[in-house]
Structures are given as structure tokens and as C-alpha cells.
Amino acid sequence: MINKKKWIANLSVLFGGALVAVSAMAAQYSLNINIALTQDDPMYKGLERMKQRVESRTNGKVELRLFTGSQLGKDEDVLEQARAGANVAVLVDTGRLGVFTPSLAVLGAPYIVPDISKLDTLVTSDLFNGWASDLRQKAGLEILSFNWWQGSRHLLTNKPITQPADLKGIRMRTPGAPVWLETIKAMGATPTPLGWTEVYTGLQQHVIDGAEAQMPAVYGSRLYEVISHITKTGHIQLISGLVGSSQWFDTLPAEYQAIVKEEALLAGDYATELTQAKLTDYENLMVKEGVTISEVDITPFVNATESVYQTLNLQTEREQVMQVLGQ
């Protein structure tokens, strides 16, 4: 016959030990990561991988919490939170970081990195590390890795586009960073800053006439329901990075700092590979939904956007990038 008191006592010891173990595993450091995209996007898959690996390698002492759809706010707002020392990070492009370190904006400039296979070479170079150091000193922002390629940006419209002149009068959504605004203006459209989560309704309600984005984001946000044409200009390679607070990062032991950066870099490679592998699938799915996807001669668009480098005084940075890439 079971001795109930003894059984309860043993159970209490068992649960007590489990609670101690859970307490020992409790996170000492936590980082909230914000992205504008959906859980189906390759970038989120990369973040999931990073979360699992970081938490495993630190025995749960560093916890990563992931937020989609800009739940923590617009990218610019999250960057300001990070600058203030909050435990937040955001997957963001260099266009927004150019506000603090102007040289970084060149990675978001038109037709700057034609061969994406050389991305790791660029974002681990002494040139890039110097810009990252400058960002840290001037803005208190820490780049964890910057090798998250989201895809080539293309034009999303409700009419065919074959040349820059066809964009005249089109209010085109783009992020509010200067390098994006100048690029779209140079291409012939009227740049209209708008949050990514507002693009669908903006197109649906004719607040904007078009947008420009990479294929995974277009499909993930179901923009194929409110556009009829995608013109493959590839005018910007959306190179993104995981950027957080240098103040928060400095609270981590050196061992954990190394783990976070190593896994951020590996996760960026993983997300980039997923993006490359799925691009054709995204295109085929949107064609089935009735979207016309067109290849065009990009030469007129390349020529039209040459002025962006002069306008934003990025000629030197462009030459430096070309040297690193061996172009």
C-alpha cells in the first residue's frame, strides 16, 4: 500500500528540485528583437535559428524574444530605444543608420552591390568595421551582424513600367531615409514615406500608387492582392543588419558577447540562403495570383540613379566599396 505522506514528500522534493533547476536556467539577459516582416519570411526563420542557438550556447542565460509586424514600433523608434540603452534590437537597413553615420548609407544606394555572393566579404571588412565603430561612438548602437540579405528591391505598380519616364506622377512608397528617397526620386517617381505595415491599405485606398520591395516581403504581406505589375529593376539590394544598444551589449560577459555576434552572423547567412532558395517560388506563386512580373533593361534606371551618389556625397564610399569587392 502506498504511503501517501511519503509519496507527497517525495513529490515535493522532485518539484522543488525542478524549480531550482528552472531558476538556475532563468535568463540573466534578455533582448527583444523587432522586425517589420511576418513569421513566414526567411529573415524571421534566421532569427528563430539565432534564438535557439544563443539560448542553447548560453544555457538559457541570454534570452531572445522575437516580435513581428513592427510590434515594438517603427524601425526608427526602436533605434531610439536602443540608443537610450533599452534591451531591444531591430533588423534594419543602412539607409536608416546613415542618419548617424553617413558612410553606412552607401550600402542602401542604387546598384552598389551587384554580386551578393561577396556580401560577407564586405560586411566583415576593415572598411565596414570602421563604419560600425563610428556608429557605436556617435549613436550608441551596436551592429551584431550585417549580412542579412532580404532580396533585390523591385517596382510594384498597377501599370506596366519599362523606363524611368513611366514613373512620372506615381506616388511610390519607400522608407523615409534620404538614400531611399533620393533613389526613388531619381528614378522618376514621387517618393512617399510610409510604414511597411501600412503599405497594403495605402495601395488599397489609393493613398499611394505604387511601392518598391523585395519578393519575400511582397508575398508575405499579400501585396499581390493590391498590385498588378512587378518590374524587376533590382535598384537596391536590401542588405540588413541586426542592430541594438551598445549599452545593453556591454552588460554581457565577453563570452556571451562573442556568442551573440557569432550566431547573428551565422543566422544572417542562413536567412540569406533561404531567401535565395525561395525567390523563384515567390515569383511563381504571385504569377498564379495574376501579377505580371517583367524583366526590363535596367540600364536607363542605372543611369538615372547615378546622381544619388553626388546628391548624398557618397562618391568616396562608393569607390571604397568597389575596392573591397574587387570591382
Q: Render pLDDT for 197-223 as a digit per residue (tens, 0 to 9).
A: 999 999 999 999 999 999 999 999 999
Distance from C-alpha of 106 to C-alpha of 122, rounded to nearest angstrom: 12
Looking at the chain, the whole-number percentage of residues with pLDDT higher than 70 is 92
Confidence of residue 26 (pLDDT cuts 50, 70, 90): confident
Give the list of residues 6+ apart from residue 224 with CB closer than 8 angstroms, or none: 218, 286, 289, 290, 291
**Domains recognised in the chain with CATH numbers:** 28-325 (3.40.190.170)
Of 157, 164, 162, the C-alpha closest to 110 is: 164
Whether residue 144 contacts residue 260, with contact meaning beta carbons closer than 8 Å, is answered with yes
Confidence of residue 116 (pLDDT cuts 50, 70, 90): confident
Confidence of residue 25 (pLDDT cuts 50, 70, 90): low
Q: Quick check: 19 pLDDT over 50?
A: no
CB atoms within 10 A of CB 245: 22
CB atoms within 10 A of CB 70: 19
List, as one string, the DSSP characters of 114-176: S-GGGHHHHHTSHHHHHHHHHHHHHH-EEEEEEEEEEEEEEEEESS---SGGGGTT-EEEE-S
Distance from C-alpha of 31 to C-alpha of 36, rounded to nearest angstrom: 17
Q: Quick check: 51 pLDDT over 90?
A: yes
Distance from C-alpha of 165 to C-alpha of 168, rounded to nearest angstrom: 6
Lowest-confidence segment of 19-28, 85-94, 114-123, 171-180 by average pLDDT: 19-28
CB atoms within 10 A of CB 99: 15
Looking at the chain, the whole-number percentage of residues with pLDDT higher than 90 is 86
pLDDT at 15: 43
Whether residue 144 contacts residue 266, with contact meaning beta carbons closer than 8 Å, is answered with no
Whether residue 179 contacts residue 308, with contact meaning beta carbons closer than 8 Å, is answered with yes
pLDDT at 23: 37
For range 30-34, the mean pLDDT: 98
Q: Quick check: 172 pLDDT over 60?
A: yes
Distance from C-alpha of 244 to C-alpha of 265, rounded to nearest angstrom: 14
Chain mean pLDDT for the chain: 91
Confidence of residue 2 (pLDDT cuts 50, 70, 90): very low
Lowest-confidence segment of 11-20, 93-102, 241-250, 282-291 by average pLDDT: 11-20
Q: Quick check: 171 pLDDT over 60?
A: yes
Give the list of residues 6+ apart from residue 47 with CB closer than 8 angstroms, or none: 33, 35, 64, 66, 91, 267, 271
pTM: 0.85
